[in-house]
Amino acid sequence: MTPLDLARAIEDNVRRVIHGKDGPVRLALLALFARGHLLIEDVPGTGKTMLARAVARSLDLTFRRIQCTQDLLPSDMTGVSVFDPRDQTFVFREGPVFTEVLLADEVNRATPRAQSALLECMEERQVTSDGVTYPLPPLFFVVATQNPVELEGTFPLPEAQLDRFALQVRLGYPTAEQLAAILDAQRGRHPIDDLAPVADRAGLEGVQAAVREVALDASLRRYVAQLVEATRGAPGVVLGASPRAALWLAQAARAHAFMAARRFVLPDDVQTVAHAVLDHRLILDPRARLAGRTSATVVDDVLGRVAVPLVPADPAPAPGA
């Protein structure tokens, strides 16, 4: 099976559980294939945790879940040194972050101190405890969920942590037809109970390597840079997109082109993933928010204002296709 076939098999497998949300499912997997981390934000009951579980079930990787609460400590996530009286030494006991797929459920219910424990994990893929650095698995992938409506007892994620999520997706409510299909699919057992892995470590590494081989023309690199730069000077924006956002915008566009069976990026790829990469990174001033301006409208304005480059067509297939 080629990397492209394997990537599509993972997508089809997740869609067996998440009905009628092909766009968000594709974006969620782009984060995985680009070796980034994923934030899923939506109201309760829309399938945030189920999407995370379906992605994890589709991969033959180690999986652990953290239910974030106000009493969660950083050591509850990263691990702690315990004194061994037999050897008269301290032994490091690994926390749940030492896994390949980590689900941080309702991450905004953890205190800022606990949230900060994920910063080093997500960026450097390592944990430092008592002056000793412990590497995390190479395929370490964080899927975090949060509820933007029920704010009592929550702690908004700081800008530094939001910037470490490659993409943010929202599922939204299903239509009446989609909801009827969900009811039919769950008459007996839940589809997640019968979901089997379709990819192993080597297969996923092959997909990620193929994504990195997708070409990004110099004109598109400038386009990505101009889009990110334009967010910083947009009206009502206090904090625009960072250089890290540009890196993830380029990498997510590569992943999108790969899934379209192309070995080169088009402007459409950049535009398709722009909201998922940029929206959650922008901070607007209060007056702009009161006037009804949102991060999404800022990104729409930027996409409409920055000139789109002309890229020569290339009929060649995607790497690994």
Same-domain status, 188 and 107? yes
Domain count, the chain: 2
Residue 8 class from Cβ within 10 Å (0-12 exposed, 13-18 middle, 19+ buried)? middle
Same-domain status, 61 and 144? yes
CA 255, CA 252: separation in Å to the nearest integer?
Answer: 5
Same-domain status, 163 and 242? no
The residue range of the domain holding 271 is: 213-321
Q: Which residues contact 185 (CB under 8 A, 6 or more apart)?
A: 19, 191
Indicate if the pLDDT at residue 321 is higher than 60.
no
Token digits of residue 26: 């594709």
| DSSP track, 187-219 | SSS-GGGG----B-HHHHHHHHHHHHTSB--HH
Other C-beta atoms lying within 10 Å of the C-beta of residue 235: 11
In a domain, 14, yes or no: yes
Choosing from 195, 211, 227, the residue where a domain stops is 211
Q: What is the pTM of this model?
A: 0.90
pLDDT band at 209 (very low <50, low <70, confident <90, very high): very high
Same-domain status, 8 and 135? yes
In a domain, 86, yes or no: no
Choosing from 157, 179, 211, the residue where a domain stops is 211
Indicate if the pLDDT at residue 315 is higher than 50.
no
Count Cβ neighbours within 10 Å for each residue of 186-195 and write b for 16 or more, e otherwise.
Answer: eeeeebeeeb
pLDDT band at 257 (very low <50, low <70, confident <90, very high): very high
Same-domain status, 177 and 49? yes
pLDDT in tens, 293-313: 999 999 999 999 999 998 765
